[in-house]
Amino acid sequence: MKRKLTLLSNTFFLAIVLFTSCKKSDPGGDITPPPPPPPPAPTILKDASSVPVGVGVNYDLLKNNASYSALVKAQFDRVTPEYQMKYGANITNSGAFNFTNTDDFFSVAQAGGLAVFGHTLAWHQNNNGTYLRSLSGTTGPNPLLNPAFENGFTNWFTQVSTTAPASGTISLETTDVQSGAQAAKIVVNTPGPNAYSIQVVSDNFNVTSGSNYKLTYWAKAAVNGQALRVVAQGTTYYAQQDQALSNTWTLYTFNFTPTEAAVSVKFHFPNAGTFLIDNLSVGVSSSLLDPVQVKTALQNWVTTMVTRYKSKVSGWDVANEVVVDGTGDLRTGANSTGSGGDYFYWADYLGRSYIADAFRWANAADPAAKLFINDYNLESDNRKLDSVIKIINELKAASVPIHGVGLQMHISINSSNAGIDNALTKLVATGLLIHISEMDVRVNPSNTTPFTATQALLDQQAQKFRYVAEAYFRIVPAAQRFGITVWNLTDADSWIVTPARPDAPTLFDAGYNKKTAFTEFIKGLQ
């Protein structure tokens, strides 16, 4: 019996074990399945953000460096040309436009699926100072008779030579004029054997031998870059200048110093094309720049540039860095350090009004474009910040078409988070679109040399990039978010980095590798 009981007990125990095992494998039981793995962290900036993410780019690198170009196209929605859309990149020493490289920049960007933000129309740097400083005024009455062809070709001699192969026409244009009712129109089908085979010549006028004279004239060509020749000639005295023309009305100048008491002004046409000339003036050169010519030069630039790339940009930095650090005063040559070269201070000749004028001209050229005022140190200089806001309010009160403000955000690991919040909060109160327009974060703000960017410094940089992105989404309402643009792609092409200023201010290192800053910045964008 003892053995039987033992066998029964063992049998009963086995049954319990089997029952229990079956219950554990029952899919209808109470055991909670493990949670699904988290989605992979985003690795593409433009995919992580609800607003456009842009980058300031170098045109040559975007066009010719495959690694650079591929990274830009992969990570960003929008590009801002670092230099290529500025005045100095598109205006020659004679004042003519040359858009060859800028047109190509747009072709490269569009082929890569990249939107373009226009930068910049009115700035005190990166101008063509040689041309702008040639815009001196004149004294004395205009000795040219019928200088705008309002009386036809009275006081002018016109010639289309009958010597083969010269072929063309000279007539009056009544529709496409610079001002008034008429302009001279010269069509050169085939140039003649001499530059003067087709020409328009003024009557002789009296001059003072040895004095410096300036001829100003408005002209345009049917095709950008077509050239004419302007001449001042007496009996033996002769001076000439070949001038390539824009395909929009542009004011050109020609300086000459006659050695006789009378000369005439001549336009020769040694090249095929269609040319228009209007509103000429001659006077003794002044040592002072002529505000009228300076204003005309700025208007021509803004109007031509915005018209040419109409509907091809998402917005424009119209007025750039118009306020001086520390004081909040309007920037002029007297209160700024840079001079000569490509520096040219529009306010020196046009005062405060150039800002409003630039916005109005840009809006007239492309009413759909978003127009911005753009400046730096607004997160660290309250006086400057308040001065920019004062200008914004003045423009709005005068019904000037301004749509946004660019906060450049060239900052460092030491920049105050409270200052960043303060700038964003105050700028949001203007009601304008807010663009973080040129962001980079220096890890060596003291310019220490030699310098190594330690991981601890790079971690601080990463947190600052993240903070700015998070603050943007926390403070700026959705309707006012225009986007965030970082300035330069890698540490190797950063404008900050020089032998005397070693640093690592961007999201990518010199080998196109993502830095810790990238990892944290993309978190802030989400």
Give me the chain's average pLDDT, please.
93
Above 80 in pLDDT, residue 17?
no
Confidence of residue 7 (pLDDT cuts 50, 70, 90): very low
Confidence of residue 235 (pLDDT cuts 50, 70, 90): very high
Confidence of residue 33 (pLDDT cuts 50, 70, 90): confident
Query: Do both 352 and 494 map to the same domain?
Result: yes
Confidence of residue 34 (pLDDT cuts 50, 70, 90): confident
Final residue before a domain boundary, out of 252, 286, 320: 286
CATH of the domain at 263: 2.60.120.260
Final residue before a domain boundary, out of 286, 315, 344: 286
User: Six-digit token pair at 187?
Assistant: 């069509």
Residue 19 in any domain: the answer is no
User: Six-digit token pair at 175?
Assistant: 């529709």
Q: What is the pLDDT of residues 313-331, one digit of tens each?
A: 989 999 999 999 999 999 9
Q: Average pLDDT, stretch 395-411?
A: 98
Phi, psi at residue 115, to the nearest 5°? -75, 155
Rg (CA), the chain: 33
Quote the domain boundaries for residue 518: 45-132+293-525
Q: What is the pLDDT of residues 413-426, one digit of tens each?
A: 999 999 999 999 99
Final residue before a domain boundary, out of 253, 286, 319: 286
User: Of residues 431 and 24, which shows the higher confidence score?
Assistant: 431
Residue 390 in any domain: the answer is yes
N-term to C-term CA, the chain = 77
Q: How high is the pLDDT of residue 35?
A: 81
* 437 touches 409 (CB < 8 A): yes
User: Six-digit token pair at 515?
Assistant: 């830095």
Query: Do both 58 and 106 map to the same domain?
Result: yes
- Count CB neighbours of 477 within 10 A: 10
> Lowest-confidence range among 9-23, 159-173, 243-257, 427-441?
9-23
* 250 touches 92 (CB < 8 A): no
Above 60 in pLDDT, residue 256?
yes
Q: How high is the pLDDT of residue 29?
A: 53
| Residues pairing with 487 in the sheet | 56
C-alpha–C-alpha distance, residues 273 and 100, integer Å = 19
User: Of residues 252 and 237, which shows the higher confidence score?
Assistant: 237
SS in 3 state form for 401-416? CCCEEEECCEEECCCC
Phi, psi at residue 149, to the nearest 5°? 60, 25
Q: How high is the pLDDT of residue 15?
A: 42
* 443 touches 497 (CB < 8 A): no
CATH of the domain at 494: 3.20.20.80
Torsion of CA 79, 58, 368, 107, to 10 degrees: -90
Q: How high is the pLDDT of residue 25?
A: 45
Q: Average pLDDT, stretch 56-63?
A: 98
- Count CB neighbours of 328 within 10 A: 17
Q: What is the pTM of this model?
A: 0.80
C-alpha–C-alpha distance, residues 176 and 185, integer Å = 10
Show the beta-strand stretches assigned E in 334-378. 371-375
Produce one character per residue of 307-320: b if its CB has 16 or more CB atoms within 10 Å, e if not: ebbeeebbbbbbbb
Number of domains the chain is built from: 2
Query: Do both 359 and 476 map to the same domain?
Result: yes
Residue 8 in any domain: the answer is no
Query: Do both 203 and 112 map to the same domain?
Result: no
Residue 516 in any domain: the answer is yes
| Residues pairing with 79 in the sheet | 55, 116
Query: Which sequence positions are flagged as catalytic?
Result: 321, 438
